Amino acid sequence: MPTTSINDIIVLVILVIVIIVHQLREWKEKSWSKNPSLIDENLCCRFSFTQISFATNNFDNGLEIGRGGFDKVYKGVIKVTNDKVEMTVAIKRLDSESKQGEKEFILEIETLSKLRHKHLVSLIGYCNDGREMILVYEFMERGTLADHLHKNKRNGSEDVTPLTWKERLNICLGAARGLEYLHNNSEQEVIHRDVKGENILVDLNWVAKIADFGICKVGGATSHTHTHISTDVKGTFGYLDPAYFSTRMLTKKSDVYAFGVVLWETLCGRPVIDDRINNKQQRNLVLWVQRCCENGMVDEIIDSSLRGQIPTDSLQSYIKLANLCLHKQTNKRPTMAKVRKDLESLLVDGLNFLR
């Protein structure tokens, strides 16, 4: 009877360990793929990772259309309505290794699956196979408001046609209607908390829609009744409501403040924080605009491509509205319903002027 050498025992032990590790890995994969649905599938489609991978050609870099801190966005084509209809979509894949996006991922599904409006980006479905966190939206062909105002120019894109005054007002009006719906709908009142040019998307017909609900807050907090939501401060620097930043008391008027910044962004055609400018006051859009208005230098802030397109009375009304949105006292700021009505009037004035 031959004796077993130490080398044979070592090989045998290694082989057993490899088999155990392989089986554990298989067991983990199977358990990950059995993740429960996050929402009623009548409200929102649930896609498999295989479907998502096929739709993006295995996440082809050539289909990448956007990138954030914890996600990449791809253009894809996916089958919906029981695989009967092909639909062009935007597919946002969150970093599966990051736990920071998990809460936002679930919140966005729960919020957008229950809210449907012409001026909100539609959530088509999601994928939560294993560790994957993927959101599928309607595809917005013309990108973001920020793209058209300043981002494309800075990225060296060719043939960038500046938006006309009418187009800018139309986009702001659409976004205002979307926010008004969020604040006042009967399903669930929502404070967006991250209103900015990059989160206002535009479709092929130039219809503006609010996007990105990952840090929104559900609940009816209004400054009229002095109710609020106490919460950690989240949002984008430059658009943050100073009152919310200092007190951590979030209200709908915090969205109104951010929308006021968007109004300035739209008129001036520049980013809210311009790192290329050394002067601190000029680098910050709001500080620069307020200083110019105080010194009677309004002409300096208007995007040069808008010269001759804005009637004087309309410009004054627009500036007044933007400044009201940024009022230090939250109860002095208008509601989004009032902002929407004012923009509708401005659009009519602008069309009459052009005629």
Tens digits of per-residue pLDDT, 20-54?
A: 766 655 554 444 455 666 666 667 889 999 999 99
Give the contacts of 48 (CB within 8 A, at least 6 positions apart): 127, 129
The whole-angstrom distance between residue 303's C-alpha and the CA centroid of its chain comes to 24
CA distance 222 to 241: 14
> Domain 45-138: what homologous superfamily?
Phosphorylase Kinase; domain 1 (3.30.200.20)
Is the domain covering 145-354 a CATH 1.10.510.10 domain? yes
| Residue 198 near residue 67, CB atoms below 8 Å | no
pLDDT tier at 155, thresholds 50, 70, 90: low
What's the pLDDT tens digit per position in 93-128?
Answer: 988 776 667 888 888 998 888 898 999 999 999 999
pLDDT given at position 307 = 86
pLDDT tier at 222, thresholds 50, 70, 90: very low
pLDDT given at position 291 = 92
Give the contacts of 233 (CB within 8 A, at least 6 positions apart): 240, 244, 245, 248
* Inter-helix orientation angle 252-268/165-184, to 10°: 170
User: What's the pTM value of the predicted model, to 2 decimals?
Assistant: 0.84
Give catalytic residue positions: 194
| Residue 196 near residue 272, CB atoms below 8 Å | yes
Range with the lowest mean pLDDT among 9-23, 190-204, 212-226?
212-226
pLDDT given at position 223 = 42
CA distance 47 to 251: 35
What are the residue ranges of CATH 1.10.510.10 in the chain?
145-354
What are the residue ranges of CATH 3.30.200.20 in the chain?
45-138
Q: Strand 208-210 to strand 249-250: parallel, antiparallel, or no bridges (unpaired)?
A: unpaired
